[in-house]
A = this chain, B = another copy of it.
């Protein structure tokens, strides 16, 4: 169990099991077994699996390095591309499994749990805020195509990414990511149109 304490072991194991298995497939016993703690200890720390899922989502969000999008070095669209490239690399490294915990919970369980739906909504909103920050900076620097609203565009990009993850997992292929980068960074966002084919 190490030195992290039972609660911390449960949170880390839940993050791993929810991401790998999904919400319903990762039962409390699956999580406590993975944490190496007695099942009976679970309810000393969490009122429910649902409450644990909210903590896991918050922790997942905190590890996305969103601050680098808003205040990192380099041109904002280059930072944005690097952000999505790092997300892509993680999925490729996981052999096109797992996807995004926020999107997975959104698809599987948000309809059925108001507290998880709210945590998914908040996770997507924080991510969208960070992307919108980079797009606003690009717009103010004259690097964003005229007429694009940074916030609506940011929401669309985050949504498009979540769907691209579903496709990449179904195909076990990076083709969906390639299309995302081409359509978003060559066609949708830049000021100048690409050369006609």
Contact = CB atoms under 8 A, between A and B. Distances in A.
Interface of A: 20-22, 24-25, 97-99, 103-104, 106-112, 117, 120-121, 124, 145-149, 152-153, 155-156, 158-167, 169-172, 175-176, 178-180, 182-183, 186-188, 193-197
B159 A180 contact: yes
A7 to B, nearest CB: 26
A71 to B, nearest CB: 25
Contact of A146 (B106, B166, B194): B194
A170 B71 CA distance: 27
Contacts of A172: 117
A187 B148 CA distance: 8
Contacts of A20: 111
